[in-house]
Chain A
Amino acid sequence: MATDSNYYVPEESRLPVLTAMSLGLMALGSGLWLNDGGSGVLLVGTAVLVSVMYIWFRTVIRENIAGMNSDQLKRSYVWGMSWFIFSEVMFFAVFFGALFYIRTLALPWLGGEGDKSDMIHLVWPEFTAQWPLMETPAQAAGSDEFVGPGQNLSFPGWDKLMGWLPLWNTIVLLTSSVTCHFAHHAMKHDDRKKFNIWLGVTVLLGFIFLVLQYEEYHHAYTEMGLTLESGIYGSTFFMLTGFHGFHVTMGTFMLLIQLIRGLKGHFSSDDQFGFEASSWYWHFVDVVWVGLFLFVYVLA
C-alpha cells in the first residue's frame, strides 16, 4: 500500500500510551525529586521513555524498510520535523528575548538610566548598570543574596584570542555543519563509504564540542566563580549555553544513530529521511550557536 491514493494508517499501537505514561511519570518524578521525595519515580519514568522510544523508532524504521510508507506519509514526516524545529526556534527565542530585555531595558532602569523613574535610587542607591553584570544590585546594597560572577566569558581581547574556548567551539561546530553537508551530498550520489566517513567526522566534531563545553563550564565553576547563581549574567549565560549544549547532545546522538544505520547499509539516494531530519536538526543547533557566540560571548 505505498501509493499516493491509499494512505497507510497504522494498526492500534501500545507505544503512544506508554510514552504518555512515561512522560507523566517523569513529570511527577521531577517534582518529587525537587521536593526531596527521592529520584526513584523520575528514573523509572526515564527508563520507560527511553526503551519505548527505542522500540518506536525501530518500528518506524522497519515499516519504512518494509516499504509501507507512501511518499505522502514521508511528506508528513518532513512537515512534522520542520514544524518541530520551528517550535525549537521559538523556545530559544524566549531566552534570547529575555537576554535582550535584561540588557537593553531592565538593567539600565535598575541603574537609573532610560525612560523610567529617576528615583530608583530609593531602592538601589549604590547600583550602576553594566554588561556583563559583575556586581548585582543586591551586592551593591551590601547583601550576599546574589553575588555576581568573579569573571565573565566575554571576548578577552585579541591577544588572548587563541586561548578563548568559545572561538574554538564555533570553529568546531561550523566545520561539523559542513562535513554533515558533505555526508548528505555523498548519500545523494549513493556513495555510502564517503557518507559514513563524513558522518563519522561530524559525530566526532559534535563530541569534541561537548568536551570543550564541559571544559568551559568546569573552568567557570571552579576558577571563575561563574555559576547559575551569579546574578542575571550567570542565569542567562548558563540557561542559553546549557540548553544549547543539551540540544547538541541530542543532535550528536541522533547523528550517531544515523551513522550506525549507515554502517548497517540503510538509506539510499532517494530515501534517507532519518538522516536528513537529523542533519536539519544539526544545522539548526549550529545556527543557534552562531547567535549565542554573537550575543552571549562577543557583543558583551
Chain B
Amino acid sequence: MAHGPAKGIGRWLFATNHKDIGTMYLWFSFAMFILGGSFAMIIRAELFAPGMQLVKPEFFNQMTTMHGLVMVFGAIMPSFVGLANWMIPLQIGAPDMALPRMNNLSFWILPFGFALLASTLFMEGGAPNFGWTFYAPLSTTYAPDTVNFFIFGVHIIGASSIMGAINIIATVLNLRAPGMTMMKLPLFVWTWLITAFLLVAVMPVLAGVVTMMLMDINFGTSFFDAAGGGDPVLFQHIFWFFGHPEVYIIILPAFGVVSAIIPAFSRKPLFGYSSMVYATSAIAFLSFIVWAHHMFTTGMPIAGELYFMYATMLIAVPTGVKVFNWIATMFQGSLSFETPMLFAIAFVILFTFGGFTGLMLAVAPADIQYHDSYFVVGHFHYVMVAGAVFSMTAAVYYWLPKWSGRMYDETMGKVQFWVAFIGFNIAFIPQHFLGLAGMPRRYADYALQFTDWNMVSSIGAFMYGAAQLMFLYNVIRTIVAGEPTNVEKTWEGAEGLEWTVATPAPFHTFSTPPEVK
C-alpha cells in the first residue's frame, strides 16, 4: 500500500485516502460558504433600506431559507468533517480512516445533494421558502411543489452525515496507536468523537421528520394537521430534538480546534484537560433535553416552559468551564499572536458574548419578547459565525503549513483577521438592537424606525464578506506561492502527533503506528 496518489481526476473521484477526501471536504464546504454567503449578501443588500429594491418578498424568503440551509449543512458541517478527515488519523497515529471507501461515499453524496437543493432555485415554484426550520404546515400544505426535492435532498445529505460520523467513531475507538489511551486523545479528537455520537443520534430524527412531511404532502397523512388529529407543533418538537443537538454539532469541533491552538501559542499545556472532556460530554448530554427552548411562544403548558428554561440555563455551566479553562491556559503563558491565535482569541471573546445572549434567550419570559426577532439572529451569528467560522479559519491558518508545505503570509493573515473581526461586529451587534427595538426576523421589508441599524449591519456584512474574499486569496496564494517550509513543528508551542510527521504531510502516514508513551 506504499503507492502514491493516482493521476488525474481519478485521484479525487475514487479517493480512499483520508487526506485527499479531507481536502475535498474542505474545498467543497468553502464553495458552499461562498454560495451561502452570496445569499446573505442579497439579504443584506435588500435590507439596506426600507422598501423592496432588489428582490420580491417570495424570493427573499427563498434566500433566507437557502442561506440557512447551505451554511449549516453545506458549509459548517462538511468543513469540520474535512478537518476531522485530515487531522484525526494524524492525531491518533492511524494510517487512515477506519472505513475509507465509505468515507469517499459520504463525501460524494454531498455535491449531488446540494446540486439537487440548489437546482430548485431554477424550478417552477422556486427554492424552499419556509425557513431553514421549515415549520409545518408552511412547509407541507402551503409549500411549493419543489419541496419534494428538498426532502429527498435532506435524506441523502443526512445519510452522508451519518456515515461520516460512524466512520469517525470507528476510527477513534479502533485505530488509536498503541499507548494512545482515551484520556491522552487531543481534545479535537474528543470533541469530534462526541459530535459524531450526536450526529448518529439526531440525523435519523431529521430524516424521520422530513419523511412525515413527505407523507403529509403526498400521501394524505395528517401528522401536522389538526383536522386529522395531528399537531403542527409536533413538527417543531421533532425538528428541535434534532435542531438543538445540531447547533452543538456545529460548535463542539470548534471547541476542539480552539483547545489545540490556545495552548500552542500560550506555550503552556491546556488547563484542566479532563474537566474539558467531562464538560464536553455534559454539553452533549444536556443538548438532548433542552430542545423546546426554541418553542417558548408555541403555548406549551407552563410545566414544560419552566422545565426547558431551567435545563437550558444549565448548559451555561459546562460551557463556562470550557471558557474558563481556555483563559486559565492563557494565564501566565508566554503568549504570541500569530493569525491562528488571533482568531482563537476572537473566538473566545465573541462566542462567550453569543453565549450570554443565548442565556438571555433561555429566560422564558424574556424570550417572549426576543423570540423570532433579530435579537435571535444576532445571537446565533455570534455563536455560529464568530464561533464555528472563526475557529475554522484559525484551524486552516494553523494547519495549512502542515498540509501544503508552504507558509501563509503573516501580515495578510493579520489584515484579514482585523477586517473580519471589525466587519463582523459592525454587522451583527446592531442586529441585537434591531431585535430589542422590535424587528422580527425573516422580514423582507421593515418599518422606518429600523432603517439606521439595518444600514450599519449591511455595511458590516459587506466588510465581513470582503474579508472572506481575502481569506480565499490568502489560502490560494499560500498553496501556489507561499514560502516553502519543511520543519515538522511549524509552531514552537504546538503539541501532538501531527507535528511529528514530515512537512508537507506525505500521502501515507503512520503505516506502522507510532508508540505513544
Q: When A and B assemble into the complex, do they touch directly, with CB atoms less than 8 Å apart? A: yes
From 211 to 231 in chain B, residues with beta carbon under 8 angstroms from any chain A beta carbon are 212, 215, 218-223, 225-231
Known contacts: A27-B116, A72-B175, A94-B238. The answer to whether A116 contacts B230 by CB under 8 A is no
B221 and A228 within 8 A (CB): yes
B100 contacts A by Cβ under 8 Å: yes
Are B226 and A110 in contact, with the CB atoms below 8 A?
yes
Q: Assess the B109–A24 pair: CB atoms within 8 A.
A: yes
> How far is the CB of A28 from the nearest CB of chain B, in Å?
6
Known: A23-B112, A23-B159, A76-B175. A91 touches B207 (CB 8 A): yes
Residue of A11, A27, A76, A86 near B200 (CB, 8 A) is: A86
CB distance from B501 to the nearest CB of A (A): 16
Tell me if B148 and A30 are in contact (CB < 8 A). Answer: yes
B195-209 interface (Cβ within 8 A of A): 200-205, 207-209
Contact with A along B146-188 (1 / 0, CB 8 A): 1011011101100100100111011101110000000000000
Docked pose: A34 CA to B143 CA in angstroms: 14
| Pair B112/A27 contact, Cβ less than 8 Å | yes
A137 touches B229 (CB 8 A): yes
What residues of chain A lie closer than 8 Å to B113, measured between beta carbons? 24, 27
A229 at the interface (CB under 8 A from B): yes
Q: Which residues of B contact A1 (CB under 8 A)?
A: 1
Contacts of A26 in B (CB 8 A): 152, 156
A204-246 with Cβ < 8 A to chain B? 227-229, 231-236, 238-239
**Total residue contacts A-B, CB cutoff 8 A:** 236
Beta-carbon contact of A145 and B227 below 8 Å = yes
Give bound CA distance, A44 to B386, whole Å: 44
Residues of A within 8 A of B56 (CB): none
- List B contacts of A234 (CB < 8 A): 221
Number of interface residues of A (CB under 8 A): 78
**Judging by beta carbons under 8 Å apart, are A83 and B221 in contact?**
no
User: What 0/1 readout, one digit per residue, does chain B (335-350) give for beta carbons within 8 Å of chain A?
Assistant: 0000000000000000
Q: Are A232 and B152 in contact (CB under 8 A)?
A: no
Q: Check B237 for interface membership: any CB of A closer than 8 A.
A: yes
Are the CB atoms of A10 and B100 closer together than 8 Å? Answer: yes
User: Within 8 Å of chain B (Cβ to Cβ): is A162?
Assistant: no
A13 at the B interface (CB under 8 A): yes
Q: Which residues of A contact B205 (CB under 8 A)?
A: 90-91, 93-94
Q: How large is the interface on B (under 10, 10 to 19, 20 to 34, 35 or more residues)?
A: 35 or more
Task: Kindly specify which of A100-108, A186-194, A249-257, A286-294 makes contact with the partner chain.
Answer: A100-108
Is there an interface contact between A24 and B115, defined as CB atoms closer than 8 Å?
A: yes
B16, A13: Cβ atoms closer than 8 Å: yes
- Chain A residues within an 8 Å CB radius of B98: 73, 76, 79-80
Instruction: Tell me which residues across on chain B come within 8 A of A34, comparing CB atoms.
Output: 148, 218
Of B94, B112, B218, B303, which is in contact with the most chain A CB atoms at under 10 Å from its CB? B112
**Cβ contact within 8 Å between B104 and A13:** yes
Interface status of B26 (Cβ within 8 A of chain A):
no
Q: Are B108 and A17 in contact (CB under 8 A)?
A: yes
Cα of A240 to Cα of B91 in the assembled complex, Å: 43
Residue with the greatest number of chain A CB neighbours at <10 A, chosen from B109, B209, B215, B299: B109
Per-residue contact bits, chain B 39-72, to A (CB 8 Å; 1 contact, 0 not): 0000000000000000000000000000000000
Q: How far is the CB of B154 from chain A (nearest CB, A)?
A: 9
- A67 at interface (Cβ–Cβ under 8 A)? no
Is there an interface contact between B223 and A98, defined as CB atoms closer than 8 Å?
Answer: yes
Contact (Cβ within 8 A) A97 B116: no
Q: Which B-chain residue is minimally distant from A29 (CB atoms)?
A: B152
Which residue in chain A gives the minimum CB-CB distance to B11?
A12
A145 to B205, alpha carbons, bound, how many Å? 28
- Shortest CB distance A86–B (Å): 6
Contact A145 B228 (CB under 8 A): yes
Interface residue A47 (Cβ < 8 Å from any Cβ of B): no
From residue B159, how far is it (CB to closest CB) to chain A in Å?
7
Complex-state Cα separation, A13 to B16, whole angstroms: 7
Q: Scan A69-88; emit 1 where CB is below 8 A from any B CB, else 0.
A: 00011011101100110111
- Contact across chains for B105 and A137 when beta carbons are under 8 A apart: no
Query: How far, in angstroms, from A12 to B16 measured CA to CA in the complex?
Result: 5
- Knowing A24-B112, A90-B201, A98-B238, the reply to whether A12 touches B10 (Cβ < 8 A) is yes
Please indicate the chain A residues that have their CB under 8 angstroms from the CB of B230 in the complex: 102, 106, 232, 235
Taking CB atoms, residues of chain A closer than 8 Å to B10 are 12
CB-based nearest B residue for A129: B229
B246 at the A interface (CB under 8 A): no
Contact of A5 with B104 in the complex, beta carbons under 8 Å? no
Residues of A within 8 A of B202 (CB): 90
The answer on a CB contact under 8 Å between B208 and A94 is yes
Q: Which one of B146, B204, B299 lies within 8 Å of A94 (CB-CB)?
A: B204
Contact across chains for A28 and B222 when beta carbons are under 8 A apart = no
Residue from A12, A79, A236 within 8 A of B174 (CB atoms): A79
If A23-B109, A239-B215 touch, whether A232 touches B223 (CB-CB below 8 Å) is yes
**A168 within 8 Å of B by Cβ?**
no
Complex: A123 Cα to B226 Cα, angstroms:
10
A293 CA to B372 CA, complexed, in Å: 41
Compute how far the CA of A79 lies from the CA of B112 in the bound complex, rounded to whole angstroms: 27
Residues of A near B367 (CB, < 8 A) are: none
Query: In this assembly, does A133 line the interface, its C-beta being within 8 Å of a C-beta of chain B?
Result: yes
The answer to whether the Cβ of A143 comes within 8 Å of any Cβ in the partner chain is yes
Q: Quick one: closest B residue to A9, CB to CB?
A: B96
A27 to chain B, nearest CB (A): 4
Give 23 CB contacts A-B under 8 Å.
Answer: A9-B96, A11-B3, A12-B10, A16-B103, A16-B105, A17-B104, A17-B108, A20-B105, A24-B113, A30-B152, A76-B99, A80-B99, A83-B165, A87-B203, A94-B212, A94-B238, A97-B238, A106-B233, A145-B227, A146-B227, A228-B221, A234-B221, A235-B228
The 5 closest A-B pairs by CB, nearest first: A24-B112, A94-B208, A232-B229, A146-B228, A20-B108
Name 17 extra pairs, CB < 8 A, besides A16-B14, A31-B148, A79-B98: A9-B16, A9-B17, A9-B96, A9-B100, A17-B14, A19-B105, A27-B153, A28-B116, A83-B170, A101-B234, A115-B301, A136-B228, A136-B229, A228-B215, A229-B219, A232-B229, A235-B230
